[in-house]
Chains A and B, each alone.
Chain A
Amino acid sequence: MSTREEKDRIGLLQGTLDLLILRTLLFGPAHGHAIAKAIERDSENVLQVEQGSLYPALHRLIKRGWISAEAGTSENNRRAKYYRLTAKGRKQLNIERTKWEKLAGAIARILRPAEQ
């Protein structure tokens, strides 16, 4: 079914999407479409997020109390649902980030000798 070109774009690791959403919301509340766009833009289009898959992740984060949802108006004056990072979410972002850096560092250390 999926024979699209995926040479330079990377699918997301399980759970990384949560981290990216939290990180995006650090700059202030945003609606779903904006979050998707921000992730694409900030990763310079390397990370490919199927936009729909954002929503299960958003609802998962709401359920855990890391973000909250509220009604708002978008830049072109349309009503949309805005997602906002909670205090708990902010703390979680730090934890997740540390975890991620440790993991990335470990993987990098493992891979490095093989490259030499």
Chain B
Amino acid sequence: MKRRKRMLEELDQDIRDHIEMETQDNIERGMPPEEARYAARRAFGNTALVKEEVREVWGWQWLERLGQDLRYGLRMLAKAPGLTVVVVLSLALGVGANIAIFSLVDAVMLRMLPVKDPQQLFLLSSNQTKPVRGGPGYSGYGISLSYSGFERLRQQNDVFSSVVGFVPLGFGPESVTVNIDGQASLAGGEMVSGNYFAGLGVSAILGRLLTSEDEEHATRVTVLSYGYWTRKFGRDPAIVGKTIALGGAPYAIVGVAPPEFFGVEPGRAPDFWVPLAEEPGLTPWGVQPPKGQSFFTAKNWWWLMIMGRMKPGVSREQARAGLDVWLRQTLTGELGLSEAEAQAFVIKLEPASRGLDNLRVEFSQRLLILMGVVGLVLLIACANVAALLLARARARRREIAMRLALGASRTRLVRQLLTESLLLAAAGGLCGMAFAGWGARVLLLLMSGGGALPLEVHTNLTVVGFAAGVSMLAGILFGLAPALGSTRLNLNPALKENADGGFDKGRTPRWSLGKSLVVAQVAFLLLLVAGAGLFVRTLMNLEHENLGFEPRGLLLFGVNPAQNGYEGPRLISLYDRLLQRIQALPGVRAASLSAYPLISGWCNSAPISVEGGQTKPDENANVLWNLVGPDFLNTMGIRLLLGRGIGDHDTSTSARVVVVNQALARKFFGNLDPLGRRFCFGQLFKIDQAYEIAGLVEDAKYTDMRGEAPMTAYIPYSQGGEVGAMHFEVRTAGDPAFLIPSLRRAVREVDSNLALSELKTQSQQIDEALVEERLFARLSSFFGVLALGLAAIGLYGTMTYSVTRKTNEIGIRVALGARESQILRMVLGEAFALVLTGAALGLPLALATARLVASKLYGLKASDPLTFSLAIGLQLAVATLAAYLPARRASRVDPMVALRCE
């Protein structure tokens, strides 16, 4: 630093000496001293520029300039605190929203599994190209394989250095009854091969993880997840050695997994892991095996998911070929398929570095749509900030003109102005980061619909990099236009302007950069507002959808007594007792049970064959069926049209009956009376498996809210084959929430080991089904309103500027007799013209974009004219508000003042 100062002083001295010598020379040549000095200066040229160039030669010029620019920029921003706050806040909003969504995108779609060398991991799966009799029965996601096949692969293969197997203990997130110190609750677990943790390269943070010996000796030990250890045991360091009951059997806790390890499937974090073993209470996928069979020996039950760590140097194609041999041997050897039949199966090897992709499939589309929404918000924010900065740059015209005249290069000035924009962008980005941390949590809550989604969303290098990138890009985007625009000046008139707002008479462009920015903003805004309109109306349509049953005042919960050893008639009598206890509770008007609650997304589906009907059943005419208890239809409020509902007298020993809805009756029996007719499920009508139609009910929705009610059959639950987990529906007199404590007590009195799952009201169940719609509607309208506000500020600024610029013209008009209303109309007309131009440009874009989300809409077309006209109308309304103040100010202009305004 010191050296640099000395060098600068020397340079100064050199230049002074030089000019002095030249002056002397000139004097000697006979010039008068005054003129001699002037001529010397002229011969030398611009000293400031020379110094600058020399410093550039020295090299640390750019750093020095950056320091200067930053200091200067900070000073300029501090001078206009209002503007700075508005700009930083709108950027924080735009950038923050992008970071929030992106951190979810990162967690769901980009992040690697927190294990050793995740890119070596591959998931094995098989595809079936055509149905084969005697082929394997699938469970789970169709990516599972048989246990015996897994054992053979584990013993011998030249592809993987280690092979691990795992299977969830249920389809839902919480399906295992856990008993800790006499308290029953539900948790989600996985059964894994002994080498699971070692193979993935995960180590314990407390105690130890599972080992191959655990699997070999089928020891009842369990490893807890960090989250479960925190939630249930308050991170008790003395937890190792404690025994808890899982699915009715005692398990010793041996260790805790590290906090970042969430298993291998994002969004589905197990609470505990147990070794693969034959257990009555804990079964793969929570499914009971067929009587007398075992999942571990049955060769045609494929239920285990397998992941392998590829050996170094093996290509994916080699690996696939090797595994193909193994699959064929498994199929022909174990299942006795012919070579030709085995050809129908193809082995697949999917990279598993990011874990299983169920969440990715489910959420990626949602996240991309949201990413689009927030991208628009950022564009609008950028356009707005650009307009504001442009307005300020106009105020700085004199300063800029002065600097240009003094010899500053245009590049240098543009760089200076861009540094200011980047400063703003950085401030906005930092605020946005803070805002995003909070936003991501809210988003996660909105996306999961009440139930917690165990997804680790945190700020990592990717997210920070994205944030920095977006902020800088935004800074350049909104900074470049004003910087370029304001340095392209005609110096003479600009310098002659008064510092406080005289204007350049020379050239008044009808179409300024500021106006283009407003038009761009309106165009993007139309996209956002129309999109929000479409999503909101979709949600409204769905919320007002006629369900066919009464959702209010209805409490739902599930039980799975099979985990506590109940089966067959004992199970049915348990359900009977539960139902009687619940029906007797005060405040309960009616109660029943069903295999699946309504609007849960779950259903049974099968083709039916009607007695005496066509021999070839329609492949597409699948009937959805539900197993229901007595009084189900009445409890749900589904209206009976003909015959009778399901009652107490329909038992496993009585005649098999079914109640069908109108859709089914219409399809199979037309206008004929359906009562007394018989059908059975499957391709062939067999009289001993047939159900007789005892009642006809009105159509009601079953699995989801969308579309026509499906063809539905209600079967007494004791007549539907295996009885498993059931859900209770309780119709209450008052608020269902008040009934929860007494309901819990009632269930505990019947059996204290029963855990209630998915306890919620029917309205909550419906809300969950509408999570996506609500998410889109809420977020897009939230951002839409904010963007409207931003645009209003932008338009207000632009109109104010435009009016001030025209003060003179307005003064003349008023002097010539224009009325206030005419001036008002003139200014408002200009604002309207801007909005309508923007809308005209945005409309085709919006229509095209809306088609991309057409599948997410319900009850209206993507080009819904009402929504689009409302969106444009709303923008005009906002424009009127934003332009009214400047317009009124213009209309009250005193012509004398206006004419003197130059």
A residues with CB within 8 A of B? 31-33, 36-37, 50-53, 55-56, 59-60, 63, 74, 76, 78-81
Contact = CB atoms under 8 A, between A and B. Distances in A.
Contacts of B53: 53, 55-56
Secondary structure type dominating chain A contacts? helix
Instruction: Enumerate the 6 nearest inter-chain pairs by beta-carbon distance, A residue then B residue, closest first.
Output: A52-B45, A56-B53, A52-B50, A33-B21, A50-B45, A59-B57
Contact of B17 (A33, A37, A63): A33
A60 B46 CA distance: 19
Contacts of A32: 14, 17-18
Contacts of A79: 17
A33 B18 contact: yes
A70 B576 CA distance: 109
A89 B43 CA distance: 28
B197 to A, nearest CB: 61
B17 A80 contact: yes
A56 B15 CA distance: 11
Interface in B1-23: 10-11, 13-15, 17-18, 20-22
B735 to A, nearest CB: 83
Contacts of A59: 54, 57-58
A55 B17 contact: no
B13, B22, B53, B59 interface centre (most CB from chain A within 10 Å): B53
23 contacts: A31-B17, A31-B18, A31-B21, A32-B14, A32-B18, A33-B22, A36-B18, A50-B43, A51-B18, A52-B46, A52-B50, A55-B14, A55-B15, A55-B50, A56-B54, A56-B56, A56-B57, A59-B58, A63-B58, A80-B14, A80-B21, A81-B13, A81-B17
B24 interface: yes
B43, B46, B49 interface centre (most CB from chain A within 10 Å): B43
B404 to A, nearest CB: 11
A83 to B, nearest CB: 10
B44 interface: yes
Contacts of B50: 52-53, 55-56
A15 to B, nearest CB: 14
Contacts of A60: 57
Given A80-B17, A81-B10, A51 B45 contact: yes
Contacts of A51: 18, 22, 43-45
B47 interface: yes
- How many interface residues does chain B have, given as a range? 20 to 34
A53 to B, nearest CB: 7
Interface in B31-58: 43-47, 49-50, 53-54, 56-58
B14 A81 contact: yes
Nearest to A35: B18
Given A33-B17, A52-B45, 11 more contacts: A32-B17, A33-B21, A51-B45, A52-B47, A55-B14, A55-B54, A59-B57, A74-B21, A78-B21, A79-B17, A80-B17
Nearest to A31: B17
Contacts of B10: 81
A51 B11 CA distance: 14
A78 B14 CA distance: 12
Interface string B330-370: 00000000000000000000000000000000000000000
Contacts of B43: 50-51
A36 B40 CA distance: 12
B17 A52 contact: no
A80 B22 CA distance: 13
Given A59-B54, A76-B24, A50 B44 contact: yes
Nearest to A63: B57
A50 B59 CA distance: 23
Contact of A78 (B17, B22, B45, B57): B17
A52 B49 contact: yes
A78 B25 CA distance: 14
Contacts of B45: 50-53
Contacts of A36: 18
Contacts of B25: 37
A31 B54 CA distance: 16
A63 B15 CA distance: 19
Contacts of B58: 59, 63
A76 B754 CA distance: 110
Contacts of A55: 11, 14-15, 50, 53-54
A31, A33, A52, A56 interface centre (most CB from chain B within 10 Å): A52
A103 to B, nearest CB: 24
B57 A52 contact: no
B628 to A, nearest CB: 91
Contacts of A74: 21
Contacts of B56: 56
Contacts of B13: 81
B254 to A, nearest CB: 69
B42 to A, nearest CB: 9
Contacts of A53: 45, 50, 53
B38 to A, nearest CB: 14
Nearest to B40: A51
A54 to B, nearest CB: 8
B100 to A, nearest CB: 50
A39 to B, nearest CB: 13
A63 B425 CA distance: 37
A1 to B, nearest CB: 10
A63 B59 CA distance: 10
Nearest to B46: A52
Contacts of A37: 25
Nearest to B51: A55
Contacts of B18: 31-33, 36, 51
B11, B21, B54 interface centre (most CB from chain A within 10 Å): B21
A106 to B, nearest CB: 30
A31 B59 CA distance: 23
A66 to B, nearest CB: 13
B26 to A, nearest CB: 12
B20, B45, B47 interface centre (most CB from chain A within 10 Å): B45
B348 to A, nearest CB: 63
Contacts of A56: 50, 53-54, 56-57
Contacts of A50: 43-45
A108 B272 CA distance: 88
B739 to A, nearest CB: 87
A59, A63, A74 interface centre (most CB from chain B within 10 Å): A59
A32 B21 CA distance: 10
Nearest to B52: A56
A33, A50, A81 interface centre (most CB from chain B within 10 Å): A33
A32, A51, A76 interface centre (most CB from chain B within 10 Å): A51
Interface string B830-862: 000000000000000000000000000000000
